[in-house]
Amino acid sequence: MIRILIADDHAVIRDGITAMLDPHDDLHVVGAAPDGATAVRLAEQLRPDVVLMDLRMPGTDGVTATTRITALSPPPRVLVLTTYDSDADIIRAMGAGAIGYLLKDTPRRALLDAIRAAARGDAVLTPSVATKLVRQQHGPRPEPLSTRELQVLTLVAHGATNRAIAAALTVSEATVKTYLTRVFTKLSVDDRTAAVTTALAEQLITLPCQPSG
């Protein structure tokens, strides 16, 4: 019996997947969560074998939830099921520890097979995602971030505003914005959060240290 937790902010999706899995004797939905924070809490309580994880949910998103769930011991397998397949989304999800990445238009039989494969510990990727990952691995390497761009991104990871970054580096806010624009282009992302997450996944920067106590 494969125990499954569904995390998606749309009730119709949660109910639809549950109804699809219910006839199969080896698949059992043990819980459903409307957001990432609830998914983490239920994963801790219910200890599912596989978590079907949407990426974009209110509050705690799927990537953050995936990071926390895969840190559990023993860790459930997180299988992303989303409508988004941008390079940044894929990198963030796989970097967070997801074992697979599927799109919501995946055929029913393929989804069932993917859940079973994930439970065995096998990586599962929808064809378009697999193609993108291969291209990233074997295509021309993107231009690396400069030392100053890494400094800016590290300060962003610490939660600094553009004004604070400008003061710390003794440059203008306009210059900071220019650096960030270059970072977004080089990392193929659209915003600060995605830039930090991608840089962490690729080990370009490290997480800020949190004070103890």
Fold of the domain built from segment(s) 147-201? Arc Repressor Mutant, subunit A (1.10.10)
Instruction: In whole angstroms, give the CA distance from residue 97 to residue 91.
Output: 10
Condensed to tens digits (0 to 9), the pLDDT of residues 125-175 reads 887 777 666 656 545 555 788 999 999 999 998 889 999 999 999 999 999
Instruction: In whole angstroms, give the CA distance from residue 62 to residue 53.
Output: 6
Residues carrying CATH 3.40.50.2300, the chain: 2-137
Cα→Cα distances 45→18, 38, 211, Å:
19, 10, 28
Closest CA to 98 of 119, 70, 68, 132: 70
Mean pLDDT of 43-68: 94
Residues carrying CATH 1.10.10.10, the chain: 147-201
CATH code at 2-137: 3.40.50.2300
Instruction: In whole angstroms, give the CA distance from residue 92 to residue 189.
Output: 11
| pLDDT at position 195 | 86
Instruction: In whole angstroms, give the CA distance from residue 175 to residue 187.
Output: 18
Mean pLDDT of 101-111: 92
Instruction: Decide: helix, strand or coil at residue 152.
Output: helix
Bigger pLDDT: 85 vs 140? 85
- Whole-number percent of the chain with pLDDT over 90: 62
Burial environment of residue 138 by CB neighbours within 10 A (0 to 12, 13 to 18, 19 or more): exposed
